[in-house]
Amino acid sequence: MGDATPTPVKSSFHLALAVLNIKNHISVILEMENSQYGTWAELFKIHARSHKVLHHIIPPPTGKEKPTPKTDEEVELWTTIDATVLQWIYSTILNDLLNTIIEPDATAMDAWVRLRDIFQDHQNCRAVTLEQEFTTTRMEDFPNASAYCQRLKNLADQLKNVGAPVTNSRLVLQLVSGLTEAYKGVGTQIRHAKPLPSFTEARSSLVLEERELAAMVSHGSGSAMVAAVDDAARQYENTSSHRGKNKNSHRHNSGNGRKGGSGRGSGGGKNNSGGRGGSGRSSGGAQPAGSSSQQWHAGQLGHWQWVPQTRWVAAPPPCPYPTITWARPPTGPPRQQGFSDGDGTNAV
């Protein structure tokens, strides 16, 4: 007996069944308000093509159709793979879209077509709205150049999805026309280039210009800070010099006053109305004790300065003052209680 040829066993395992988390492959979550259908659909088609399940969402061209499953095993495998693709769709959209497209016993292609109709129906109306938003987009409405370029590219993709594609030349010219005044130089270079650069090249030029402007602003801020420190140092030196001049001048004037008869002995001695001195402490009115050691005066800089003096003054009297008078002690011999003092009163 000859050896029988073994029948090859067809494996029921498929690549699509090995995907554990679809969000690791499709990072965009489709939502109703923020339309990113074009990006989401492109990522989904790439993933489906790499796992050989693209025919479950998009019908293949004529002549390349997949054979219809015949055996129970083939039907079961096809149903399992289709349910897996349908689960991918449901896992990458928000609940508002999920509640809109979900239907009992629906296939992956049914869900795909419903989503396409939601985002691509009434194409003419959508094209008019997107066109207006595309032409009125300005860089001043965005935090940086990258966000501005990304928004223009997103609007161009949406216009392509509704049957109104945007050429590269128009996209670049719209990019240049929406620049702010600080980027007019790089915008002029892009506009006069022959031929016009691609959108990617224009975006790179804009981002590089933004970095250079940021570096210039940072360097200018550092220079301004150094200049402010220098000004503060010069102002401090001027203030110190004026303070020294005023201090020496006040000392000179005080010395002249003492030499000119302001001492204690000049001007008439004790009988003078000025007290112990002539014109030193009493003439011209009394002077506060603190004013001889600390005086405030207006300097040449326009603000008040404190100038210490070198002359010491007597300490101020104690406060509060005594409220009772002090009695003089008796000079005679002590008296005993109970004896008369001779005038009808008892001695204390």
- Domain match, 106 and 157 both: no
Average pLDDT over every residue of 160-177: 92
Task: Find the largest Cα–Cα distance for the chain.
Answer: 173
pLDDT band at 33 (very low <50, low <70, confident <90, very high): confident
Last residue of a domain, one of 199, 220, 243: 243
Q: How far apart are alpha carbons 242 and 226 in whole angstroms?
A: 25
Asked if residue 130 and residue 157 are part of one domain, the reply reads yes
Helix (H, G, I), strand (E, B) or coil at 139: helix
Q: Does residue 126 sit in the same domain as residue 89?
A: no
128 and 115 share one domain = no
How far apart (Å, rounded) are the C-alpha atoms in residues 142 and 138? 8
Give me the amino acid identity at 285. Answer: G
pLDDT for 85 equals: 95
Q: Is 43's pLDDT higher than 80? A: yes
Residue 128 shares a structural domain with residue 67: no
Q: Are the CB atoms for 155 and 133 separated by under 8 Å?
A: yes
Q: Is the pLDDT of residue 187 over 80?
A: yes
Q: How confident is the model over 114-129, as pLDDT tens digits?
A: 999 888 888 888 899 9
Question: Would the pLDDT of 218 be above 90?
Answer: no
Give yes or no: residues 159 and 231 share one domain.
yes
> Distance between CA atoms of 112 and 128, rounded to whole angstroms?
25
pLDDT at 122: 82
Within this chain, do residues 115 and 75 fall inside the same structural domain, yes or no? yes
Q: Which tokens belong to 219?
A: 């360097």
pLDDT band of residue 15 (cuts 50, 70, 90) is confident
What is the rounded distance in angstroms from the CA atom of residue 320 to the CA atom of residue 86? 96
Give the orientation angle of helix 72-91 with respect to helix 37-50, to 10 degrees. Answer: 150
Last residue of a domain, one of 243, 269, 287: 243
Position 117 in a domain: yes
Cα distances (Å, whole numbers) of residue 205 to 141, 198, 228: 19, 11, 35
% of the chain exceeding 90 in pLDDT: 37
**pLDDT above 80 (res 240):** no
Q: What tens digit of pLDDT does each residue of 137-166 get? A: 999 999 999 999 999 998 998 898 888 999
Residues 114 and 130 grouped into a single domain: no
Does residue 265 fall inside a structural domain? no
Ranges 41-55, 65-79, 120-134, most confident? 41-55
Q: CB-based contacts of 227: which residues, under 8 Å, 6+ apart?
A: none
- Gap between the Cα atoms of 348 and 291, Å rounded: 51
- Same domain? 102 vs 210: no
Domain assignment of residue 83, given as a range: 15-121
Among the listed residues 297, 292, 298, 296, the one whose alpha carbon sits nearest the alpha carbon of residue 310: 292
Residue 18 has a pLDDT of 86
Q: Are residues 95 and 198 in the same domain?
A: no
Structure tokens at 305: 């300065």
Q: Domain tally for the chain?
A: 2
Residues 54 and 160 in one domain: no
Q: Does residue 108 carry a pLDDT above 90?
A: yes
Domain end, chosen from 212, 227, 243, is at 243
Q: Is 108 exposed, middle or buried (0-12, 13-18, 19+ CB in 10 A)?
A: buried
Q: What is the pLDDT of residue 205?
A: 93
